[in-house]
Structure 1
Amino acid sequence: MPAQTADAASPEVAPRHALAGLAILAGLLSRIASLAWWPAVEALTGPALWLGTALLWPDLPRRNRRQAGMLAGMGAGLLLVATVGYGARVDWSGVLDGNTQVVAMLVGVSFIGLIGNLRGRPRPPGHPVTGRRGLAGTWLGVHLLGTILNLSTVFMVGDRLARHAPLTLPQLLALNRGLSSAALWSPFFASMGIVMTLAPAMDYATVLAHGLPLALCAGLVTMLELPRRFDLSDTAGFSMSPRSLLLPVVMAALVMGFHFGLTPELSIVSIITFLMPASALVTNLTKGPRWTLGRLHRHALTRLPAMRGEISLFLCAGLLTKGLSTLANAATDGGWTLFETYGISEAMFSFLAIVVSAVAGLHPIIGVSVLASVLDLADGQQTLFAFTALAAWAVGTSVGPLSGINLSLQGRYGVSGTLMMRENLRYALVMAVLVVAMIAWLART
Structure 2
Amino acid sequence: MQPTRDDGPDEATRRRRALAGLTILAGVAIQITQFTGYSPFSPHLVGYALWLGTALLWRDIPTRNRRQAGWLAAIGLSLLLVARFGFDADIDWWAILDGNTYVVAMLVGVSFIGLIGNLRGQSQPPTGHAVTGRRGLIGTWLGVHLLGTILNLSTVFMVGDRLERRGPLSTPQFLALNRGLSSAALWSPFFASMGVVMTLAPAMNYATVVAHGLPLALCAGLLTLLELPRRFDMSETAGFSMSPRSLLMPVAMAGLVMIFHYLLTPELSIVSIITFLMPSVALATNLSRGPRWTLSRVRQHTVTRLPAMRGEISLFLCAGLLTQGLSTLVDAATGSEWTLFAHFGVPQAALSFLAIVASSLIGLHPIIGVSVLASVLDLAARDQTLFALVALSAWAVGTSVGPLSGINLSLQGRYGVSGTHMMRHNLGYALVMTLLVVGTLWLLES
Unaligned runs of 5+ in 1: 1-10
Percent same amino acid among aligned pairs? 74
Cα offset for 1:160? 1.2
AA aligned opposite 2:30:
S
Matches within 5 A, 1:19-98: 19-36=19-36, 37-38=38-39, 40-98=41-99
Residues 295-320 of structure 1: CA deviation (Å, up to 9, x unaligned):
11000000000000100000000000
Unaligned runs of 5+ in 2: 1-9
Task: Provide the residue aligned with 2:427 in structure 1.
Answer: 425
Cα offset for 1:43? 2.1
Cα offset for 1:156? 1.0
Decide which of 363, 371, 374 is 1:372's aligned counterpart: 374
Q: Distance in 2 between matches of 1:138 and 1:41?
A: 45
Secondary structure class of the residue paired with 1:97:
coil
Decide which of 208, 229, 233 is 2:235's aligned counterpart: 233
Secondary structure class of the residue paired with 2:43:
helix
Cα offset for 1:360? 1.0
Q: Distance in 1 between matches of 2:160 and 2:27?
A: 31
Task: Provide the residue aligned with 1:117 in structure 2.
Answer: 118
Cα offset for 1:123? 2.8
Q: Distance in 2 between matches of 1:128 and 1:304?
A: 31
Matches within 5 A, 1:36-435: 36=36, 37-38=38-39, 40-124=41-125, 125-435=127-437
Kept after mapping to 1: 8 A contact 2:117/2:123: no
Distance change (3 Å), C-alpha of 1:39 and 1:148: farther
Cα offset for 1:129? 1.1
Cα offset for 1:42? 2.4
Cα offset for 1:119? 2.1
Q: Distance in 2 between matches of 1:350 and 1:413?
A: 33
Cα offset for 1:143? 0.2
AA aligned opposite 1:25:
L
Kept after mapping to 1: 8 A contact 2:346/2:445: yes
Q: Distance in 2 between matches of 1:303 and 1:40?
A: 26
Q: Distance in 1 between matches of 2:136 and 2:270?
A: 34
AA aligned opposite 1:159:
D
Q: Distance in 2 between matches of 1:237 and 1:285?
A: 36
Cα offset for 1:227? 0.6
Residues 88-147 of structure 1: CA deviation (Å, up to 9, x unaligned):
111000000000000000000000011132222233211111111111111000000011
AA aligned opposite 1:178:
G
AA aligned opposite 1:96:
L
Kept after mapping to 2: 8 A contact 1:72/1:317: yes
In angstroms, what is the RMSD of aligned CA positions? 1.1
Distance change (3 Å), C-alpha of 1:39 and 1:369: farther
Secondary structure class of the residue paired with 1:14:
helix
Secondary structure class of the residue paired with 1:221:
helix
Cα offset for 1:86? 0.5
Q: Distance in 2 between matches of 1:300 and 1:139?
A: 31
Kept after mapping to 2: 8 A contact 1:31/1:41: no
Q: Distance in 2 between matches of 1:268 and 1:432?
A: 28
Q: Distance in 2 between matches of 1:138 and 1:291?
A: 34
Residues 225-276 of structure 1: CA deviation (Å, up to 9, x unaligned):
1111111111111111110000001000000000000000000000000000
Secondary structure class of the residue paired with 1:28:
helix
Q: Distance in 2 between matches of 1:252 and 1:261?
A: 14
Residues 45-64 of structure 1: CA deviation (Å, up to 9, x unaligned):
10100011111111111110
AA aligned opposite 1:335:
E
Q: Distance in 1 between matches of 2:49 and 2:304?
A: 17
Q: Distance in 1 between matches of 2:182 and 2:60?
A: 25
Task: Provide the residue aligned with 1:5 in structure 2.
Answer: none
Q: Distance in 2 between matches of 1:123 and 1:239?
A: 16
Q: Distance in 1 between matches of 2:293 and 2:129?
A: 29
